[in-house]
Amino acid sequence: MTQVGIVGAGPAGLMLGHLLHLRGIDSVILENRSREYVIERVRAGVLEQGTVDLMREAGVGARLDREGMRHEGVYIAFRGRRHRVDMADLTGGRAITVYGQNEVVRDLIDARVGTGRPLDFDVSDVRLEGIETGRPVIHYRKAAGPQRITCEFIAGCDGFHGISRASIPSDRLQTYEKIYPFAWLGILANAPPSSPELVYSLHERGFALFSMRSDTVTRLYLQCRPDDDVAHWPDDRIWSELNARLRTDDGWQPNEGAIMQKGITPMRSFVVAPMRDGPLFLAGDAAHIVPPTGAKGLNLAMADVWRLADAFGHYYATGRDDRLKDYSARGLSRTWRAQRFSWWMTSMLHRNDSENPFDHERQLAELEYLVSSRAAMTSLAENYVGTPLE
Ligand code: APR
Ligand code: PHB
């Protein structure tokens, strides 16, 4: 028996468990992968100001404060030139912090273990029952055999491919989806970053992104075909493509180094509404996916669980469920704002084979306008650093 059963130990599930703990609410977190897999899985790495503030307030920001890299600006590159957008100047001092999502997960697992509250990895056959009757039970299997937990509520934090969303009858959900005709090939390289800030580039050959993880590790991405395979991308092809797409006329280009990891990420926009069915609440990637161009995925997940923890806290403190009732509508409003921004960044910065030369010239005109107008740069900056958790 628990108050909130949490399915999934990604950033959403772990942060929710921690925020509930701080409010004295008990939870059980169930994860079907191993602890090592979850910690080592390489994901994005840009934290909005609101996510950084949340981690600090929740007491899990110490390593983030030591090792995270605060970036007050970002570069947009096209036609051989890099243009800096001074985000802090345009937003009254807000910035992003570069810190790998897997580091966030590692810190949250340490915090959970420190509380002594249950966190079970390597569980299988997770199944939800009783959602429609309001008496939810989570069934699952551990090495010791079949288990069941009766819950007052369930938080579905099990990502896009999880079982929580799939447990809701499809006639009670509306879904919105857009699949892009390209993907990202991402690498981690043992090379010191050659720019102190990120560089988003549109080149004739397609999109490329320069990012980093530390003083010695560079993270790079390039647009590839959606059906591409890393086997088609030997290291020398990756470097020649990255250099061609990122090098600017002033001679700037990424430093090369040994490639430690390679992976291909598909690009989609996805929203489900509502984010709740009776006692089951969806949060993070279980409820919405954004293409990675705006770096919003992790931040949206954090905003969801911050709101959900607040709603559960209010419910258990006062017996009133008004904030639980508002959870979905408020979440959808933030989600659609992030969807609009991520779609805009994605369409502005990728080559789309199905488009004609008009579209490419329009993209370049959009970029020229962006870097020459303080109003346009402010629009990018305020969305990129993210709106405060309200
Ligand atoms: N039972 C238990 N756990 C499950 C199940 C299941 N049936 N299915 C999936 N999971 C686990 C996954 O293994 C994963 O660890 O749920 C977790 C979901 O975590 P994430 O996919 O990281 O999703 P979320 O916590 O919502 O974080 C969103 O992740 O994909 C990125 O860009 C996205 O940065 C964003 C962040
Ligand atoms: C990353 O560093 O992994 C990263 C940065 C910016 C993005 C996406 C990913 O838009």
pLDDT tens sequence across 24-40: 999 999 999 999 999 99
From the CB of 299, is ligand 2 less than 6 Å away?
Answer: no
Cα–Cα separations (whole angstroms), residue 233 to 164, 173, 204, 225: 35, 39, 19, 12
Return contacts of 305-310, CB within 8 angstroms, 24+ apart.
305/12, 305/13, 305/15, 305/16, 305/19, 305/155, 305/157, 306/15, 306/19, 306/54, 306/389, 307/331, 307/389, 308/16, 308/155, 308/281, 308/283, 309/16, 309/19, 309/20, 309/23
Residue 200 annotated to the active site = yes
**Mutation choice for ligand 2 from 187, 199, 219, 298, CB with most ligand atoms inside 8 A:** 219
Per-residue pLDDT band for 134 (boundaries 50, 70, 90) equals: confident
Burial (0-12, 13-18, 19+ Cβ within 10 Å), 379: middle
Q: How far is the CA of 33 from the centre of ligand 1 (A)?
A: 10
Buried b (16+ CB within 10 A) or exposed e, 37-65: ebeeebbbbbbbbbbbebbeebebbeebe
Which residue has the least CA distance to atom 14 on ligand 1?
10
* Pairing, β 258-273 against β 174-190: antiparallel
The average confidence (pLDDT) of the chain is: 97
Q: Is the pLDDT assigned to residue 217 strictly greater than 90?
A: yes
Give the H or E element holding residue 365: helix 357-372
Q: How far is the CA of 32 from the centre of ligand 1 (A)?
A: 10
Cβ(16)–Cβ(155) under 8 Å?
yes
Looking at residues 250-258, what average pLDDT do you find?
A: 97
DSSP annotation of 162: S
Q: What is the pTM (predicted TM-score) of this model?
A: 0.97
Question: Residue 161: its pLDDT value, please?
Answer: 97
Question: Residue 353: its pLDDT value, please?
Answer: 81
